[in-house]
Amino acid sequence: MSLVRKLKPDRSITGPLVPLSMLLIFGLTAWIFNLRIGFYTLGFLTAGYALYTLYVVLRTRNQGHIVALVYQLFVGYLCFNFPTYIERRYLDRVEFALAYFSVLLFFGVLLAYLVLTRKIKWRGREIFELAAEPIETANNGYTSRPRPVGKVEYSRQELLDFVRFAARHLVALPYITSKNITLVPVKMGDEFGRVLGLSDDYRDATWVNFDMDGNVSVHISQKDYLDYREPLAFDELCQSLGQVFIDFAELQKKGEGVRFIDRMDDLRIGIFS
Amino acid sequence: MDFQTAAKIGSLLAKDYAEGMFALLVNYQGISASEAATRLNLHIKTSQDFLEALVELDILTGTEVFEKKRPYIRYALKTDRIVIDLDLMQVARKPVVDELSLRVREKENAGARFTVARSGDSIASVAIWIGEGRDRQERKIKLTPPQGRFFYHLPFPKAKPLTVAEIMHKAGLGEEIAPEILDLIQLAMKYGVVEAIQ
């Protein structure tokens, strides 16, 4: 497996920016007002983040995000009650403090495990690296048009199974209509905008579309194309991206979808990129 | 009858004084431009231009006569029917083998913006920029469904070009669609969206 990266290094800080901003706001409100207000603010922010995570869970059925959701809800609950615990000196009781600390530690370790094993990582970068792997020529040729790349012989139910699998493993975000099933690969850092619909229309993003006749077409956004170090042959790149998903669907149909996940893991792309 | 002649007749018939003018021509043995102008309350130049145009179209005759030494023209109808018979097939494109074997692909950096149809399997419209500097304008061309499918299957810039016939086959288009596809290609080549490769 080649580890030569074709994408530019990821220097985006959007991912860690959200929790860091929350801590910064907590610090500021606690400093300007008092600790109670600070904790309440942090509680509201965590609850907001939990709502986002809940939406991700509903949208993708990713199990790792359920753990993150429970953790965020617990932290939020703790934030709302912490000032009272301090006032009433609950934390002086060892068994009380130990219980809270154990829950925090348990979920913290579990969450770290999920992050390190890439169970809650959006796999957009892996997809783009896999698509670029066989492309050696660099002659640009970018166009905003989609490209028909082939045909698959799947029933709608089989396609839906594949799409659910892809969503569950955060390979791509699905958009399902009566005529089309579109998969949009999401890179880490882009997930907030894409999931919450704050980014541009998904049709302007990079996507792989399966219509009800099994025709597969691909569109690569200019932003994602410019993320490659070299101006790769665009025609071949589109074909390759479509093929990545066709191969993935083929493996998933045989019940070996996890092999595709392993293939992405083998790329050893950073857990936050 | 060709389009230009039909257009001239059409524009003359569309004048609001046309019916009055023809009523004079039908009921009078002959009439001059000034007589018609005073009768219909028109400027003499308007009346003269109208009658001269009808002479050019061979609908009237214009005969020069003299009043003492002053010459003027009396107009009379040459025919009592105006038939606009326009064969629309004269503008039909007949695809020739050469055009269908033209190898084409999208031109690189054409600056065109393609909008994908809701169905996802064709292009709905192409927006191109024409003009220079401050006169630069966006022109949007809405495509017919077959044209949209053709553009959807058009090879990318730098990709191997395909013949028009091959692209039509890929897009599932029959030969009867060829004229509208060739018309699109001609337009797209004019605006630098498509290039032909020898």
The predicted-structure confidence for A192-220, as pLDDT tens digits, reads as follows: 899 998 888 888 899 999 988 889 999 99
Place of tokens 């998904």: A202
Provide CB contacts within 8 A for B11, sequence distance 6+. none
Q: Is A239 within 8 Å of chain B by CB?
A: no
Query: Under a CB-based contact definition with an 8 Å cutoff, are residues A39 and A260 in contact?
Result: no
User: pLDDT at position A3, please?
Assistant: 63
CA distance, residue A145 to nearest chain B CA (Å)? 6
Residues of A whose CB is below 8 A from B170 = 148
Query: Under a CB-based contact definition with an 8 Å cutoff, are residues B197 and B155 in contact?
Result: no
Residue B155: φ, ψ to 5°:
-60, 150
In the structure encoding, which two tokens stand for residue A139, read together?
């002659």
Which one, of A128, A129, A143, A148, lies nearest residue A2 by Cα? A129
Query: Under a CB-based contact definition with an 8 Å cutoff, are residues B139 and B125 in contact?
Result: no
Residues of B whose CB is below 8 A from A144 = 112-114
In the structure encoding, which two tokens stand for residue A176, read together?
């399902």
A258-273: pLDDT as tens digits? 999 999 999 988 888 8
Provide CB contacts within 8 A for B49, sequence distance 6+. none
A53-99: pLDDT as tens digits? 999 999 999 999 999 999 999 999 999 988 888 888 877 788 888 88
Residue A215: helix, strand or coil by DSSP?
A: strand
Q: Is A165 within 8 Å of chain B by CB?
A: no
Angle between helices B33-40 and B18-27 (to 10 degrees): 120
Radius of gyration, CA atoms only, chain A = 22
B152-164: pLDDT as tens digits? 999 999 889 999 9
User: pLDDT at position B173, please?
Assistant: 93
Residue A235: which of B113, B152, B156 has the nearest Cβ?
B156
**Are the beta carbons of A140 and B106 separated by less than 8 Å?**
no
pLDDT tops 60 at residue A2: no
**Mean pLDDT, rounded, for A225-229:** 93
**Mean pLDDT, rounded, for A165-190:** 93
Residues A105, A86: Cα–Cα separation, whole Å: 20
**Mean pLDDT, rounded, for A242-249:** 94
Which one, of B64, B74, B82, B73, lies nearest residue B19 by Cα? B82
∠ CA B138-B143-B144, nearest 5°, is: 160
User: Which of the residues B121, B150, B169, B170 would you substitute to probe the A interface, choosing the one with the greatest number of A C-beta atoms within 10 Å?
Assistant: B121
Place of tokens 């495990």: A113
What is the pLDDT of chain B when averaged over all its residues?
A: 90
By CA distance, what is B151's nearest residue in A? A145
The sign one gets for the Cα dihedral A10, A12, A14, A17 is positive
Residues B135, A173: Cα–Cα separation, whole Å: 42
Residue A217: helix, strand or coil by DSSP?
A: strand
In the structure encoding, which two tokens stand for residue A27, read together?
């610090």
B128-177: pLDDT as tens digits? 888 888 888 888 999 999 999 999 999 999 889 999 999 999 999 998 89
User: pLDDT at position A199, please?
Assistant: 82
Residues A251, A228: Cα–Cα separation, whole Å: 27
Residues of B whose CB is below 8 A from A142 = 108, 157
Query: Under a CB-based contact definition with an 8 Å cutoff, are residues A86 and A78 in contact?
Result: no
Strand A147-151 versus strand A215-219 pairing type: antiparallel
